[in-house]
Structure 1
Amino acid sequence: MRYTTLISAQELAARLSDPDWAVIDCRHDLASPDAGLLAYEAAHLPGARFAHLDRALSDKRPAPDGGFRGRHPLPAREAFIDTLRDWGVGDDTQVVAYDAQGGMFAARLWWMLRWVGHEAVAVLDGGLPAWQALGLPLSTELPRPPRGAIGLHPSLVETVDARQVLDNIARPTRVILDARAPDRFRGENETLDPVGGHIPGAKNRFFKDNLQADGRFKPAEQLRAELSALAPEGGAVIAQCGSGVTACHNLLAMEVAGMPGAALYPGSWSEWCADPARPVATGA
């Protein structure tokens, strides 16, 4: 059985020692970029490798053309494959990503594996808190897995760039779904990007609205009802956020809800607002 969206702590615990499984710790703090690594070194799921958002799941080097690609631009697909091999991932590996923030960062890794054509990847539902709530063990041992042999395969997902988003504003065919908090969407309390507001015509779906009070995802039927109210055409969606990270949480929620096919705008608001020629909207 392959897990392609979510996996429970109980299910993961039963397979944790399987050599064909790889668990990746994605904990991060945007305000303190080394906090996730420090937390990982203090204690993590047994056998888990660590994925740093800024170093493994992004490429912050200047773009070849000198342009700005947002705060968390994607690495080259080939470079990400090399990282996966360092983590011991092969074509037949079941990957499980987790964090302690309701999947806020783990969903980015989930999406990126699909981006390089690997379908057997799931997010630990409820993350580290769900694991600890069951009294399951943690470890301080740093694993050294043998190098994996995953190959680069056709992508299972779609990305769009700023030009395509601009075209969609002029001729709307897809719903633009913004995963940021409502105040940032309205253009209030912006602390991460130099301009407040949102892409004209976008709808707001705060990624935390995908979760229940215990940090686990809402049932598929509930997600489908809520997301369908925003995107009646199902997967005809462009997902974005501040920098292409929490938008992946909405993409995961759509997959759980049985609404596949949405695209990611990786540069998201941070790239969009960097060009004063691009239109900006504020308010609800």
Structure 2
Amino acid sequence: MLMRVEQLVDRLNNHEDETVVVDVRFQLNDTDAGRKAYVEGHIPGAVYLDLNKDLSGEVQKHGGNHPLPDSNEFSSKLGEIGIDHGTTVVVYDQQNDMFASRLWWLLQYMGHEKVYVLDGGYQCWVKQGNKVSVEIPTYAKKNFIPKVNEDEVVDIRKIKENIMSSNAVLIDSRSKERYLGKVEPLYAKAGHIPGARNFFWKEVLHEDGSWKDEDTLKEHFSSLDKGAEIIVSCGSGVSACPNILALKRIGFTNVKLYPGSYSDWISYEENRVETKDE
């Protein structure tokens, strides 16, 4: 699930297997910033994928602010940058922001298992003195055949059923302030889906963007039952993904994403929100 910078250096230097490195740096408040940063310098050989244009589908009235991309269109994009099921994919963003985990999750969802997040991201790559490049690479086109695992996702109907039954644990990955409805920079309603428990996604990382070790993560999630179904949400299905990766690292197997998350939930006027800690 994770690859250290020195491991990637060895892999690239020794031409181990077929490897494609993907840069997914992005800023929600400046949607061109990630691509500009990539053009100004990136890990040699890395290609760029954009959260809005490549890792998300078209925004509609319902479905959330970053709906999943169409599987066939996304498969075509993967093939165009040289990825098939035999390719090892290493994903990075600035540190270990939510965007690398989003692509990691998407590839897993599409049935691709050989995918890793670069621990510490681009910042760690540069800090360790490795070269950067401004060259835009091209790869021989491949045929990526999607093997979509629908069991990895739930829709709003499942969320509503769960509010009544409490059969699954629903996690909200946003900050505590947004979860409690004290602040809301993006949406018209503040609060969270009733029944959701708060696990802020940044708490699985150190301040420098490196991932916390498995023992620390086990302590962090110790209140959760490994045998339970865990549904992870956030604002729009992006920052939920670091929590999914962290949970799977420590042995949770029944972990699913609610892709629409809070932005989908509040798109239905009849859905109530909660502002107390749960």
- The alignment covers a number of residue pairs equal to 275
Deviation at 1:214, TM superposition (A): 2.4
Q: Is the 8 A contact 1:53 1:105 kept in 2?
A: yes
Corresponding residue of 2:102: 108
* Superposition TM-score, scaled by structure 1 size: 0.93
Matched, 1:15 2:11: yes
State the match for 1:239 in structure 2.
232
Q: 2:122 is matched with which residue?
A: 128
Partner SS state of residue 263, structure 1? strand
- Identical aligned residues as a percent: 39
In the alignment, is the contact (CA less than 8 A) between 1:44 and 1:140 conserved in 2? yes
Matched, 1:208 2:202: yes
Q: Tell me, what secondary structure is at the counterpart of 1:276?
A: coil
Deviation of 1:279 after TM superposition, in Å, equals 2.1
Q: What is aligned with 1:76?
A: 70
* Residue 191 of structure 1 pairs with residue 185 of structure 2: yes
Segments of 5+ residues of structure 2 without an aligned counterpart are: none
Q: TM-score normalized by structure 2?
A: 0.95
SS of the aligned residue for 1:16 comes to helix
SS at match of 1:24: strand
SS of residue matched to 2:218: helix
- Residue number in structure 1 paired with 2:38: 40
8 Å contact 2:152–2:256 — kept in the other structure?
yes
Residue identity in the other structure for 1:140 = V
1:273 and 2:269 are equivalent in the alignment: no
Question: CA separation in 2, counterparts of 1:157 and 1:212?
Answer: 31
CA distance in 2, matches of 1:16, 1:173: 45
How far apart are 1:261 and its partner, in Å? 2.2
1:251 correspondence with 2:274:
no
CA distance, structure 2, for counterparts of residue 74 and residue 114 of structure 1: 13
Q: Which moved more, 1:127-136 or 1:10-19?
A: 10-19
Deviations 1:220-240 (A, max 9, x none): 1211221132x2235521000
Tell me which amino acid in the other structure corresponds to 1:247.
A
Tell me, in whole angstroms, the C-alpha distance in 2 between the residues paired with 1:155 and 1:237.
Answer: 16
State the 1:154 CA deviation: 4.2
TM superposition shift of 1:151: 1.3
**Deviations, residues 62-91 of structure 1 (Å, cap 9, x unaligned):** 3xxxx4211101111111101101111011
**Shift of residue 103 of structure 1?**
3.2
Aligned mates of 1:156, 1:271 — CA distance in 2? 18
Deviates more, 1:96-105 or 1:268-277: 96-105
Q: Conserved in 2, the CA contact under 8 Å of 1:25 and 1:98? A: yes
Runs of 4+ in structure 1 deviating by more than 3 angstroms, as ranges, are none
**Post-superposition offset of 1:61:** 4.7
1:88-123 deviation digits (Å, cap 9, x = unpaired)? 101110001100142310000000001110000010
Q: Does 1:225 align with 2:225?
A: no
Using a 3 Å threshold, how does the CA distance of structure 1 residues 156 and 71 change in structure 2: closer, same or farther?
Answer: closer
